[in-house]
Amino acid sequence: MIKPIAITMGDPAGVGPEVICKALAELGPEGWDDIRVIGAVQVLERANKVCGTGLAFGNGGLQVIDLHTDGVEDAPACTISAAAGEAAYRYILAAVGMAKSGEIGCMVTAPINKEALHAAGHKFDGHTGLLSHLAGGIRPNMLLTSPTLSTIHVSAHVSLADAIRRCKRERVLEVIRAGHEHFRRVGVDAPRIAVAGLNPHCGEGGMFGTEDDEQVVPAVTEARAAGIDVVGPLSGDTVFARAHHGEFDLVVAQYHDQGHATVKLIAFDTAVNVTVGLPFDRCSVDHGTAFDIAWTGKADHTNMLAAIAYGRKLAAAD
């Protein structure tokens, strides 16, 4: 039997409650059986009114795990606050507990605000760092997936200088393997993987840097020797277009903006952020709390629908 998924409400001051209400309204009651929402019922009811989605909560309606945290009902919309940060933290904590115990097959997360999280005393770089901590220090990998382009990152939330330092054979090989295993798990028997070069034109024979020749090439060679269908390094100015047009299933991006900017350009509303390598499954919308439009009813829920669909895919993969 496929386990349900749990959707965490995210930062109550952001667009999370709205996109959840809109997505679930579009799915309709017949699409709620395998969904649990972890959040604050009062906040969801307020979002329900703002969006005019006509949802019912509780008996006969949407199943909500109502978690009370001090001040969350009164936390100002579109504003960073410790109360909202603490609430977002508690929702994630509850979802991880349910995932570890086997109650759910995947957690789907609405956006949180890093500053609010820090204001509440939780000094993490966002979902990925927090989930790593809750998983016992396991370092996961960030994967963005969309209908026509998917990328997995050698480094993510670090400076560009640190990203260059992290481009090492061992790390590149680890990411290639993680991407290969993930795509096999979700039904791609022989994933076609390309590795993007770190430097312009992959260093152009050393004129623009030697990392591609010294670190990336050996990683690709070792992965190929292990039977993985991988090529690279390929120039970052063309490899993503080649993948988008169907030549590759996955591109290994060397740093955050190399992968993120490309995916968001072509699939801003449909890309899903997937955390690969944890002992439980998590995926997320690929946008932030959007305080500039939160609580106006304007937030687009297309990305939440995509995240729910991928969460169900992961829940069915085991």
Which amino acid, 124?
F
Percent of residues, the chain, with pLDDT higher than 70: 100
Do 111 and 172 sit in the same domain of this protein?
Answer: no
Could you give the number of structural domains in the chain? 2
Contact residues for 35 (Cβ-Cβ < 8 A; gap 6+): 4, 5, 6, 7, 24, 27, 62, 63, 308
User: Is residue 315's pLDDT more than 90?
Assistant: yes
| pLDDT confidence of residue 134 | 93
Tokens 């998924």 label which residue?
5
Res. 311 pLDDT band, cuts 50 70 90: very high
Beta bridge partners of 152: 143, 252
Residue 24: enclosing H or E segment and its boundaries?
A: helix 16-27
Cis peptide leading into residue 76 (ω within 30°): no
Which pLDDT tens digit goes with each residue over 215-251? 999 999 999 999 999 999 999 999 999 999 999 999 9
- Cα 145 to chain centroid distance, Å, stands at 9
Do 146 and 75 sit in the same domain of this protein?
Answer: no
Do 174 and 309 sit in the same domain of this protein?
Answer: no
Do 202 and 224 sit in the same domain of this protein?
Answer: yes
| pLDDT confidence of residue 75 | 77
What CATH number corresponds to the domain at position 92? 3.40.718.10
Res. 72 pLDDT band, cuts 50 70 90: confident
| pLDDT confidence of residue 271 | 93
Whether the CB-CB separation of 116 and 82 falls below 8 Å is answered with yes
Average pLDDT over all residues of the chain: 94
Beta bridge partners of 142: 275
User: Is residue 77's pLDDT more than 90?
Assistant: no
Do 224 and 244 sit in the same domain of this protein?
Answer: yes
Res. 254 pLDDT band, cuts 50 70 90: very high
| pLDDT confidence of residue 74 | 75
Tokens 């604050």 label which residue?
40
Q: To 5 degrees, how large is the angle CA 182–CA 187–CA 190?
A: 75
- List of E strands, 141-271: 141-145, 150-153, 193-196, 230-234, 250-253
Res. 157 pLDDT band, cuts 50 70 90: confident
Token pair recorded at residue 176: 């290639």
| pLDDT confidence of residue 58 | 75
Do 129 and 246 sit in the same domain of this protein?
Answer: no
- Predicted TM-score of the model (pTM): 0.92
Do 109 and 211 sit in the same domain of this protein?
Answer: no
Residue 119: enclosing H or E segment and its boundaries?
A: helix 114-119
Q: Which domain holds residue 283?
A: 1-140+278-318
